């Protein structure tokens, strides 16, 4: 059987392999805040943020008192409770940025109808600038409120406290955990990774011959020959 060979000259083909981009969520720190949000008010209005943990605020309303609800809050009438739930996939927009006690404080609205600070959540920058943690939640007087977050299948109650030391000017909502430190609800942003272009080469030359397959060995008892 004759084997047909190609020309010995090499044909080099250059191609571009475009790897699709991806996106993932990262914690909003002070460096990204200064570079993308604080630099321009127009950029701040376009940025969408998320919470790192599922957040729930419960308002307990006195039976002889009433509150005015102008945000998306789920009502439970039997126990006079109002629940405000912010899921991890709920998009929030920045409506105000201010400085308080030398720290950046951002007000985030997780409802399209909210455009004022009184219905927004406030997140303050940590001392090391590594994150923005929940510091204030909307109030509905005369109702008392309780804040909780979902952490690995468990609901943990959050209370105001200091994040690192008692000398901090502002408190954040936190919960103590035994082995993984304090639990806080932090802001996250979506980071888009641009597609990469990888150059590769295809060489077209002599077609290699297929190696011969060695014969198989049959293992078994040989028949006796007379």
Handedness of CA 98, 173, 47, 75 (dihedral sign): negative
**Residues 215-221: what's their mean pLDDT?**
57
- The residue whose two tokens read 């929940």 is 134
Burial of 209 (0-12, 13-18, 19+ CB in 10 A): exposed
pLDDT greater than 90 at residue 122: yes
**Residues 162-184: what's their mean pLDDT?**
85
Q: Which of 93, 103, 64, 99 is nearest to 80 (CA)?
A: 64
199 SS3 class:
strand
pLDDT greater than 70 at residue 65: no
180 SS3 class:
coil
Most confident of 6-10, 127-131, 133-137: 133-137
Q: How far is CA 44 from CA 33, 36, 41, in A?
A: 9, 7, 5
Which of 45-65 are b and which e, b meaning 16 or more Cβ less than 10 Å from the residue's Cβ? eebebbbbbbbbbbbebeeee
pLDDT band of 149, cuts 50, 70, 90: very high
- 59 compared with 8, residue with greater pLDDT: 59
CA distance 224 to 226: 6
- 171 compared with 15, residue with greater pLDDT: 171
25 SS3 class:
strand
Task: Lowest mean pLDDT of 64-73, 76-85, 103-112, name the range.
Answer: 64-73
pLDDT at position 50 is 95
pLDDT at position 92 is 93
Task: State both tokens at 132.
Answer: 């923005």
pTM of the predicted structure, to 2 decimals: 0.70
pLDDT at position 141 is 79
DSSP 106: E
pLDDT at position 44 is 66
Q: Return the percentage of the chain with pLDDT > 90, whole number.
A: 29
pLDDT band of 14, cuts 50, 70, 90: very low
Q: Return the percentage of the chain with pLDDT > 70, whole number.
A: 62
């Amino acid at each position: 059987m004759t084997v047909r060979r190609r020309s010995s000259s090499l044909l080099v083909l250059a191609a571009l392999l475009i790897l699709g981009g991806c996106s993932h969520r990262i914690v909003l720190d002070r460096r990204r805040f200064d570079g993308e949000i604080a630099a321009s008010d127009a950029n701040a209005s376009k940025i969408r943020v998320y919470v790192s943990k599922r957040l729930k605020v419960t308002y307990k309303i006195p039976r002889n008192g009433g509150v005015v609800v102008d945000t998306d809050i789920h009502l439970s009438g039997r126990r006079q409770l109002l629940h405000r739930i912010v899921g991890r996939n709920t998009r929030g927009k920045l409506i105000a940025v201010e400085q308080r006690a030398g720290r950046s404080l951002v007000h985030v609205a997780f409802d399209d109808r909210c455009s004022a600070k009184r219905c927004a959540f406030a997140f303050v920058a940590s001392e090391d600038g590594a994150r923005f943690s929940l510091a204030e939640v909307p109030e509905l007087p005369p109702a008392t409120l309780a804040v909780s977050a979902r952490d690995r299948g468990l609901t943990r109650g959050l209370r105001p406290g200091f994040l690192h030391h008692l000398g901090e000017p502002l408190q954040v909502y936190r919960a103590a955990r035994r082995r993984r430190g304090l639990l806080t609800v932090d802001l996250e942003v979506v980071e888009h990774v641009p597609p990469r272009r990888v150059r590769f080469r295809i060489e077209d030359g002599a077609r290699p011959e297929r190696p011969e397959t060695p014969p198989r060995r049959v293992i078994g008892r040989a028949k006796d020959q007379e």
